[in-house]
Structure 1
């Protein structure tokens, strides 16, 4: 099999209802670096990696997750070496979080941004 022409994922776009509020939430609660914030989008960087998260404002009822059998499924998964501390941090900031689960040595939980986008973090 040959190598892909695609080198890596550069960014993922997330729909948000309130761009300014969302940009500050991702910066202040999740600790992402806010690189650019205009009326059309907010660009955030996660640590030193090349990956970007772009928040795009919309009035539509849409999310960055999908459903299977009418059950919400996340599209974006993050990693955190301090899963328990991160879970508590989110609860301390009144973020909607689900309980921590373990599946064959895979520890994870789901949480929601202020726009209702379902996200996952694991370790």
Structure 2
């Protein structure tokens, strides 16, 4: 049966420019170049992010990746300084989190909890 999540895939308009954005803004590492897609490693996570060139349509289906960071305040400040579209920093009593958007307006989220 199913053993694990292999990857999370997001559609982007331009895979080259998006790969550079994820590497420069979020510090991801490009680990594979395929025709029309790239695989990016995220810190020490075993689940990569795959970005795939295709039709980017605003779909409000609630699916988006959530990344974890112990340095959420530092990342929040850095993203804002780099002009990334970010929401307010939220705390629900357990989790600290904020939403942000890539260059194709894909929703992403960063969280921290103890």
2:23 maps to which residue?
A: 27
Deviations 1:4-46 (A, max 9, x none): x322211011100111110001111111111123441011011
Greater fraction of residues in strand: 1
- Match in the other structure for 2:60: 66
User: Following the alignment from structure 1 to structure 2, what is the Cα–Cα distance between the partners of residues 121 and 61?
Assistant: 22
TM-score, normalising length from structure 2? 0.89
State how far apart, in whole Å, the 2-side matches of 1:49 and 1:87 are.
20
Q: Distance in 2 between matches of 1:39 and 1:89?
A: 32
Are 1:36 and 2:25 matched, yes or no?
Answer: no
**1:107 lines up with 2:101 in the alignment:** no
Instruction: Report the structure number with the largest CA radius of gyration.
Output: 1
Calculate the aligned-residue CA RMSD, in Å: 1.6
| 3-state SS, counterpart of residue 37 of structure 1 | strand
When the two structures are superposed, what TM-score results if normalisation uses the length of structure 1? 0.83
The answer to whether 1:96 aligns with 2:85 is yes
Structure 1 gaps, min length 5: 68-72
Whether the aligned pair in 2 keeps the contact of 1:74 and 1:119 (CA below 8 Å) is: no
- 1:46 corresponds, among 39, 42, 45, to 42
